[in-house]
Structure 1
Amino acid sequence: MTAPPEDPAPLEPARVARTRLGVEERRAQIVAAALEVVAERGYARASASAIATAAGVSKGLLWHYFADKDDLMKQAVVSTVEQIGRELAREIDVSAPPPDIIRAGIGWIARWSVSHRGELRAMDEITRVLRDTDGQPAFSLADYEPNYQQQEALFRRGQELGYFRAFDTRVMAVTYQGAVDMMLSYVDSHPDTDVQQYAAALVDIILAAVSAPAPPPARK
């Protein structure tokens, strides 16, 4: 009796999963893997090998797209923040009244945070831990400048249209960004929090602070 044929050797997992992607798609794939590994293992244990495995690529391919691990981690934060901004811009009617834009924007980021807790947690850890070549923090408040400028423009538009009272738009932009960041940090550390209720309350507080006083009722 002849022996049964041997089972074919399994294909290597990396070869099965690997597809030819464009440069930006491949970078995005590696960035997503980096955030996933940091979220699961922490920054210190997020090795290049673990990231490559999560991305389904060879370790050497990482350095085709990024200079080193520090560069990968920094670009992971920068590119994800940019992606959040693009997604937010697609979801919000920027021609709407400024109070409506604020309400829609904070509501959207609150909803986004629920389904992206791991990414937010990883980004927070990277921004706290990553250092530049001089040993200084790789991220600082200066990295918020594009956000501050966009928010200032929105507040100035609200003032010009009569929705908002007179105030220092830079101070309000910094306060606004800080309040949103604190919302994300708080709901992450308090997972039972109703994030939509929190967002709605935060919007009410911000609009109460910036809104122009209502005109007095007309005399009869």
Structure 2
Amino acid sequence: MQPENRSGGQKRSFIEDARRGQIVAATIATITEVGYAKASFVQIARRAEISPGLITYHFAKREELMKQVMLTVHDSMDRALTARTESATDHVTALRQLIEGFVHYCAEHPAELIAISQIAAAARDAESARTWAEEQNERTLAELEDMFREGQEAGVLREFAPRVMAVSVLAAMEAAPAELMTRPDTDVSGYARELADLFERAVRAA
């Protein structure tokens, strides 16, 4: 993967990308430990064992850094879910693997989920990140709607309103992180399986 472009069309070096990744990881850890409001550049720099000035070299504003955290976590999640669903042979299996994969990702990445949830709920300097998260949410809903329509056209899924089902699936998935965090003894595999069973019964053609 090539480094992304900087302003002016210059490409970042792999060293710069690695440093940005280090800062993002430290930001996630800081938000998880002290909360979004207290996650200052000074606090983040302390955890990354770098100077605050090095953070401002890569991220001029706090808002820019918080948006990068959102991008990084969602990219990681997308890769994990793609790996789980790419072998699906039909729409029902794809939905099951998507739901189960999401639940397992949440269980395996609690700090990342805490960080992006706090950023998404924040005001003022997280506005850009919140707007991006809302746009990402709408794209996810559109993808689910498309998958449901295709499944209905193929005769694999029963007739229902794709938008309503997409909203319901996404809402159920988004409830998983809080459930797993507040109930750490939850059987993750069992939770994932039951949730997938619920929606398989809801969408499968008779």
Counterparts in 2 of 1:24 and 1:90: CA distance versus 1, 3 Å: farther
Q: 1:156 aligns with which of 149, 153, 163?
A: 149
CA apart distance, 1:132: 4.9
Asked if 1 retains the 8 angstrom alpha-carbon contact of 2:28 and 2:111, the reply is yes
**Higher radius of gyration, 1 or 2:** 1
Aligned to 2:25: 32
Counterparts in 2 of 1:113 and 1:95: CA distance versus 1, 3 Å: closer
| Distance (Å, rounded) in 2 between the aligned partners of 1:64 and 1:156 | 47
Alignment of 1:116-131 (within 5 A): 116-131=109-124
Asked if 2 retains the 8 angstrom alpha-carbon contact of 1:77 and 1:123, the reply is yes
Aligned to 1:89: 82
Q: 1:55 aligns with which of 48, 55, 58?
A: 48
Alignment of 1:1-220 (within 5 A): 21-132=14-125, 138-139=130-131, 141-213=134-206
CA apart distance, 1:70: 2.0
Q: Secondary structure at the match of 2:184?
A: coil
| Distance (Å, rounded) in 2 between the aligned partners of 1:126 and 1:182 | 17
Kindly provide the amino acid, as one letter, of the partner of residue 34 in structure 1. Answer: T
* TM-score (structure 1 length as normaliser): 0.78
Asked if 1 retains the 8 angstrom alpha-carbon contact of 2:119 and 2:130, the reply is no
* TM-score (structure 2 length as normaliser): 0.83
CA apart distance, 1:176: 0.9
CA apart distance, 1:137: 8.8
Structure 1 stretches of 4+ with a deviation exceeding 6 A read: none
CA apart distance, 1:57: 2.9
Q: Secondary structure at the match of 2:124?
A: coil
| Distance (Å, rounded) in 1 between the aligned partners of 2:167 and 2:203 | 14
Give the number of the structure with larger relative contact order, counting CA–CA contacts within 8 Å between residues 6 or more apart.
Answer: 2
Which protein is richer in helix relative to its size? 2
Q: Secondary structure at the match of 1:22?
A: helix
Q: Secondary structure at the match of 1:108?
A: helix
| Distance (Å, rounded) in 2 between the aligned partners of 1:150 and 1:88 | 13
* Structure 1, unpaired ranges of 5+: 1-19, 214-220
| Distance (Å, rounded) in 2 between the aligned partners of 1:130 and 1:196 | 35
Identity over aligned pairs, percent? 33
Counterparts in 2 of 1:51 and 1:137: CA distance versus 1, 3 Å: closer
Kindly provide the amino acid, as one letter, of the partner of residue 92 in structure 1. Answer: T
CA apart distance, 1:156: 1.8
Aligned to 2:4: none
- How many residues were matched structurally? 193
